[in-house]
Structure 1
Amino acid sequence: MTRQRTLAALVAAAVVGALAMVLPMASASAAACAGAWNSTAVYTGGATVSYNGHNWTARWWTQNERPGGPEVWTDNGTCGGSDGGGTTPDCDHPNWQAGTFYAAGSIVRFSDGKLYRAEHDNPGYDPTISTWYWEPYTCGGGSTTPPPTTGGFVVSQAQFNQMFPNRNSFYTYNGLTAALSAYPGFAKTGSDTVRKQEAAAFLANVGHETGGLVHIVEQNTANYPHYCEPSRPYGCPAGQAAYYGRGPIQLSWNYNYKAAGDALGIDLLRNPNLVQNDAAIAWKTGLWYWNTQTGPGTMTPHNAMVNGAGFGETIRSINGGLECNGGNPGQVQSRIASYQRFVQILGTTPGGNLTC
């Protein structure tokens, strides 16, 4: 009996000791929840918010990019209690009502239990149609299918909007991402830094060419009749004055419309207006030049960025005959300044060889 009592006492002591080690950990509470994430608020790098029971820290400038998405937010773990309960701001959104006008960015709860965000202003269409996209959580916190991705493009829509706050509505982010499939190596070659640098370089140059993505067509109409080279065997079937600058890279001349159209499988020689009427086609022509043409330079802008030649060589390939080697240093510096601002928005560095 004495031996049995001794064993029982040892077992009991071991259990108590184990509980003493476990209970303090179990009673410790998670970090307090930061202020709830707001889809319309602007957050700079280092800002902390709470979302879906977790605290998150922004890595760089962001707006309307949900915590939990790729790269933008760092997950700091659960908040608001040991069970990670926290409050989910999604549940504060109103129920959708048919016929009610909703501004772009509005979030509603629908009868299927999911949350939907208005992609564009709309007069109350059913959230299951394409003018809306899903939020990643139901009001109860359960997962839903996320909205469509942009195929891994290194520039988010919020960053694109920050780069071009006054852009013409023609130059849509969706048009740009739809065009990316034409040149799958663009902004997807090399390290993450190189990919971001190439995207920033492309957008800085097209922004310069279009006044911040404001102009769809060349502004000097007196130049329009000059862009037809009739000696080409295919001539100028759309008319003498039909091949003026259009789109983000200001595509001009009949032979460039012919070459770009052939590469993209679109008859731009006979239908040059497609470049000013279809956003995806316009972006594709810009990507065509960027990825395949050397212009007055010695390499394509794409090769300049992925092979380390630097941003200055992209300027040379686009307009080096007029701007480089002291031709117009003010224009060169304008392009460089845009590029430096854009890489900062993307959270990377500009690299070397910025000028030409």
Structure 2
Amino acid sequence: METKWWVLAMAVAVTMAIMGIADGDSSTPTVVKIVKGKKVCDKGWECKGLSKYCCNDTISDYFQTYQFENLFSKRNTPVAHAVGFWDYKSFITAAAEYQPHGFGTTGGKLTGMKEVAAFLGHVGSKTSCGYGVATGGPLAWGLCYNKEMSPSQSYCDDSFKYTYPCTPGVEYYGRGAIPIYWNYNYGATGEALKVDLLSHPEYVEQNATLAFQAAVWRWMTPVKKSQPSAHDVFVGNWKPTKNDTMENRVPGFGTTMNVLYGDNVCGQGDVDSMNNMVSHYLYYLDLMGVGREEAGPHDKLSCAEQKAFNPSSTTSSS
């Protein structure tokens, strides 16, 4: 294995050792301060940096190892394609980078639980090998994959040769928890995470923490500066414009699909790819003890009639 990857792997291992992660729990006491008249907190490794969001419940406060195991109960069965890869600690470690920015910590406990279920609903759907008569049902097979098994192409777009040029011999097929495709998406994700994914996209299929981190970064980051992130539209930070309303975009789970996949999924009616993500979200709400009734009405769950924020090939994932 190349030296650069070994260094990255060691850095992640050392970081986790220093954090002392044990099923996501942290014994570090919460530090509370008043800054400019506002309460801010620091909870140690999991929510670090004196943020207002760190004053709320963090993910490991309401989402435990056993719940992760329930959501992804078939991921380590012999027929799965990424046995031993995905785990709870990797998810919590990745989430820790974004909890101070509101991931799973915006609003109260209920909102946090719903956001985690929504994010993992995307993850479960995109990495599932479930089918209609699969043991445990089709929704029990999330995190079966960590990469595309039979790529149809190398996903190199030469029109980005001046910004994110393709590395010779490298293929940019789907990898990760919310799969990354194309050289420009690997380039942008790598820049944000400070990892050379343009030269080494294989890092995403070799390190579960990095794979989850890339997915959470995508969830938290707008595709364009003038647009909301999936996080923003889900937790209510985004206020639709008149144009958004005319094009049926409303806050909720449905518009997270619009942000992440555009018209590959949305505006196509009740297609299977959309319904599958909705089904995973509702199933996870039930397993987490929230209940699917908290998901809201159909117009918030669906993007069947929504016009895409970014039509055609400008979306972040396939």
Which of 105, 111, 122 is 1:194 aligned to? 111
**Equivalent position amino acid for 1:330 in 2:** D
Change (3 A) 1:162 1:265: same
* SS in structure 2 of the partner of residue 226 of structure 1: coil
| Structure with more strand by fraction | 1
**Helix, strand or coil: the match of 2:158?**
coil
Partner of 1:221: 151
> Structure 1 155/133 Cα, relative in aligned 2: closer, same or farther at 3 Å?
closer
Contact 2:74-2:144 within 8 A present in 1 as well: yes
Task: Give CA deviations for 1:274-330 in whole Å, capped at 9, x if unaligned.
Answer: 1110111111110111100348x9531101111071111111122231222235522
Q: 1:106-145 to 2 correspondence within 5 Å?
A: none
- The reply on whether 1:302 has 2:231 as its aligned counterpart is yes
Amino acid in the other structure paired with 1:171 = W
Gaps of 5+ in 2: 1-18, 29-43, 48-57, 76-81, 129-141, 238-250, 304-318
Query: Which whole-Å CA distance do the structure 1 matches of 2:198 and 2:21 have between them?
Result: 36
Q: In the TM superposition, what are the counterparts of 1:1-356 in structure 2 within 5 Å?
A: 152-153=58-59, 154-167=62-75, 168=82, 169-184=84-99, 185-211=102-128, 212-223=142-153, 225-239=154-168, 241-294=170-223, 299-307=228-236, 309-327=251-269, 329-348=271-290, 349-352=294-297, 353-356=300-303
Give the Cα separation in 2 of the matches to 1:215 and 1:193: 29
**CA 1:239–1:171: 2 relative to 1, 3 Å:** farther
TM-score, normalising length: structure 2: 0.61
What is the letter of the counterpart of residue 280 of structure 2?
A: S
- Taking the aligned partners of 2:127 and 2:22, their CA distance within structure 1 comes to 30
TM-score after normalising by structure 1: 0.54
Aligned residues: 215
1:237 and 1:337, CA in 2 relative to 1: closer, same or farther beyond 3 A?
Answer: closer
The amino acid of 1:158's aligned partner reads Y
Q: Which has the higher contact order (CA 8 A, sep 6+)?
A: 2
Alignment check: 8 A CA contact 1:217 1:250 kept: yes
SS across alignment from 1:222: coil
CA RMSD of aligned residues (A): 3.0
Q: How many angstroms apart in 2 are the aligned matches of 1:219 and 1:208?
A: 16
User: Could you say which residue in structure 2 is the equivalent of 1:15?
Assistant: none
Say whether the 8 Å CA contact 1:228–1:240 is kept in structure 2.
Answer: no
| Unaligned runs of at least 5 residues, structure 1 | 1-129, 137-144
Give the distance between the partners of 2:235 and 2:71, measured in 1 at CA: 22
Deviation at 1:132, TM superposition (A): 11
Contact (CA 8 Å) 2:190, 2:197: kept in 1 or not? yes
Q: In structure 2, what is the Cα distance between the partners aligned to 1:323 and 1:133?
A: 38
**CA shift digits 1:209-242 (9 cap, x unpaired):** 111111111133222x233335431443533542
